[in-house]
């Protein structure tokens, strides 16, 4: 990739070439100028074993995690929870986004649910930890069974 670094056209230049310290911080990036930022020249690396998480209680998937897990879990995106309440008589929290999926718990009308993702008519998120006996569970609820708490 070294041949790309000297290319004149921006589309032909490598975006990242790391060197120096093994951590890329905001301070390291801003110590240069806007046109020539100070970028470390060493490679970045992950160190240590991955933390084993209880999938039923940790709001993390391969593509998304709760914002509070930033720095603990490596995923492409982090989400701030959107508070919702169960508007149906009850709502089943399921392991997967389909009606036949395993039911983890049943939430009563008015129960809180923190939505992290909405797709295909399903909401993925976590029951707040303050709900006695049911708090902390992570799963999917039909979007039609929830209402936004603004």
Domains present along the chain, CATH in parentheses: 1-45 (no CATH), 64-148 (2.30.30.40)
pLDDT at residue 33 is higher than 50: no
The phi, psi pair for 28, rounded to 5°, reads -65, -40
pLDDT at 37: 47
pLDDT at 132: 66
Lowest mean pLDDT among 31-35, 67-71, 103-107, 116-120: 31-35
Burial pattern 99-125, b for ≥16 Cβ within 10 A else e, equals eeeeebbebeeebbbbbbbeeeebbbb
pLDDT at residue 31 is higher than 60: no
């Amino acid at each position: 990739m070294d041949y790309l670094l000297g290319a004149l056209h921006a589309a032909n230049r490598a975006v990242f070439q790391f060197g120096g310290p093994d951590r890329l911080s905001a301070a390291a990036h801003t110590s240069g100028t806007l046109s020539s930022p100070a970028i470390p020249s060493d490679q970045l690396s992950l160190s240590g074993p991955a933390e084993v998480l209880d999938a039923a209680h940790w709001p993390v998937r391969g593509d998304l995690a709760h914002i509070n897990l930033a720095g603990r879990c490596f995923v492409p995106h982090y989400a701030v929870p959107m508070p919702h309440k169960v508007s149906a008589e009850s709502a089943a929290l399921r392991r997967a986004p389909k009606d036949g999926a395993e039911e983890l718990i049943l939430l009563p009308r008015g129960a809180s649910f923190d939505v992290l993702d909405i797709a295909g008519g399903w909401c993925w998120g976590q029951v707040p930890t303050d709900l006695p006996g049911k708090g902390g569970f992570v799963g999917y609820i039909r979007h039609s069974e929830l209402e936004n708490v603004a």
